[in-house]
Structure 1
Amino acid sequence: MRILLLTAALMFTCIGCSKPSAEEMFNKGVEAQRMDQYDNAISTYQQLAETYPDSSRAPEAVYAIGSIYQNHKHSYHEAIQSYRRLLEKYPQHATAANASFLIGFIYNNELKNIDSARIAYEDFMRRYPANQLVASAQFEVANLGKNPADLLNVQSPLAQQKTKPAGKK
């Protein structure tokens, strides 16, 4: 009887010790992010990416880390670092092209580092030549260093595409 109780106690202890799945961790990170608990979300996403690097959720977690650093913590160097990690580990993932573009965007628009922005945008266009953001990257490169007020009358490539009449290219 004593052995049976000891076995049952060990089983319940082990059940409580099992680590959460990648999906559970991702959902926990999403929930923390939704509640504006950004440090908790980053920590959870980092743990997911380290524990389950081959999970389909790992690249999404790395992208989410970059997005939090960029949009909520305004820690632009950390955002770039996260996006670069995504490009290094998961270059074919659906979020990789956006991450590559965002590196150039952050250098240009947040850090005002024109040389690094040019390099990042050119890298993006080389890696993802068929991506829909290539026209925007070309526009950004053509206008690096220009005063934003001077660009008010210049139409972006995406706006040009939307205003073209049907059947015209």
Structure 2
Amino acid sequence: MAAGEALYQEGRSYEAAGNDKKAISRYKEVYKKYRYADSAPEAKFHEAELLYKQGKLVNSFDAYQELIENFQGSRHYQTAFDRQIKIAHQAADGIIKNNFLGLKSKIGPERVEKMMSKVRDNAPKAPSASAAQFAIGASWQESKIPDKAIGAYRQVSLNYPESKEAPEALYRVGELLMMKSEKGNQNLANLDSARNVFEDVILQYPNHKRAKDSRANIKMIRSQDITRSFEIGKFYESKKEYQSAKFYYNDVLKKAKKGSDLEKETRQRLANLGQ
């Protein structure tokens, strides 16, 4: 593998002379042609470091990933791992920008998910794994794609229930379901699902700040349930479907606060219907 070492030393010389472009080219060639040479992990690390220095952080991320995947015994492994986590979170936070035809735009959630998935899978038992999975959910949420966000957040609570991100992730699932219900798509099912999620937050994380918020949201959902039942009752009454109207009015009486205006009006409507 003397040829690989010679190429690596060429790269080091170019790097020392400030010719990063040629240095990176030599380092890539070492990795491509002499993967099993002792100089290969060194070359890959220096390639990643130079790309990082140049601000080509996505390319740097990929180079660090190649080191992590192929050279787990490298003395640079931990540095590469830590640097990769930093880059992935910079991408998720919008600090890194794509540059295409001179136009800069925030890296999309698809790319963020790919990067974070690698961070997660590189050390699935480390705290960085749950943080990466949570960041995937946050990226989809920020991009206003709730179904993807819900799926990612659920994976946090399912796979990392003891992590510091789990309570917030589960709570956000409930919040997103409530938001979906407001758009009218399967609103009843989404509200019921949201209530179940908030109940899970209270049950699993009773001392977390989101438990209090979950109780408030459950109260809000119950209020919406009562109002919804009352409006449905009025609808059936207007259609002269009195049995159905009575069913929903009685549901209101089960849930409404005693002595409230809503309870009084509901009782009056039932009385008018002969109950």
TM-score range normalised by the length of the shorter chain: 0.7 to 0.9
Q: 2:178 aligns with which of 102, 108, 122?
A: 108
Q: After superposition, what is the alpha-carbon deviation per residue over 1:91-115, rounded to whole angstroms, capped at 9, x for unaligned?
A: 1111111011111111112344111
> Is 1:13 matched up with 2:20?
no
Paired residue for 1:61? 132
Q: 1:63 Cα deviation (Å)?
A: 0.4
Gapped runs of 5+ residues in structure 2?
8-36, 45-65, 69-76, 98-105, 182-186, 228-275
Asked whether the equivalents of residues 23 and 57 of structure 1 are also in contact (C-alpha less than 8 Å), the reply is no
Instruction: State the one-letter code of the partner of 1:18.
Output: L
Q: After superposition, what is the alpha-carbon deviation per residue over 1:131-169, rounded to whole angstroms, capped at 9, x for unaligned?
A: 11222211111111656xx9xxxxxxxxxxxxxxxxxxx
Instruction: Provide the C-alpha distance between the structure 1 equivalents of 2:5 and 2:212, rounded to a whole number of angstroms.
Output: 64
Gapped runs of 5+ residues in structure 1?
151-169
Paired residue for 1:85? 155
Q: 1:48 Cα deviation (Å)?
A: 1.2
Q: 1:37 aligns with which of 91, 94, 107?
A: 107
Identity of aligned residues (%): 19
Instruction: State the one-letter code of the partner of 1:75.
Output: I
- Higher relative contact order (Cα pairs below 8 Å, separated by 6+ residues): 1
Paired residue for 2:87? 28
Q: After superposition, what is the alpha-carbon deviation per residue over 1:24-44, rounded to whole angstroms, capped at 9, x for unaligned?
A: 222121222323203322210
Instruction: Provide the C-alpha distance between the structure 2 equivalents of 1:24 and 1:110, rounded to a whole number of angstroms.
Output: 37
TM-score under structure 2 length normalisation? 0.48
Root-mean-square deviation over aligned CA pairs:
2.3
Q: After superposition, what is the alpha-carbon deviation per residue over 1:66-107, rounded to whole angstroms, capped at 9, x for unaligned?
A: 1111122x2212111111111122111111110111111111
TM-score under structure 1 length normalisation? 0.75
Instruction: Provide the C-alpha distance between the structure 1 equivalents of 2:160 and 2:140, rounded to a whole number of angstroms.
Output: 19
Asked whether the equivalents of residues 90 and 96 of structure 1 are also in contact (C-alpha less than 8 Å), the reply is yes
**Higher alpha-carbon Rg:** 2
Q: How many residues align?
A: 145
Instruction: State the one-letter code of the partner of 1:13.
Output: A
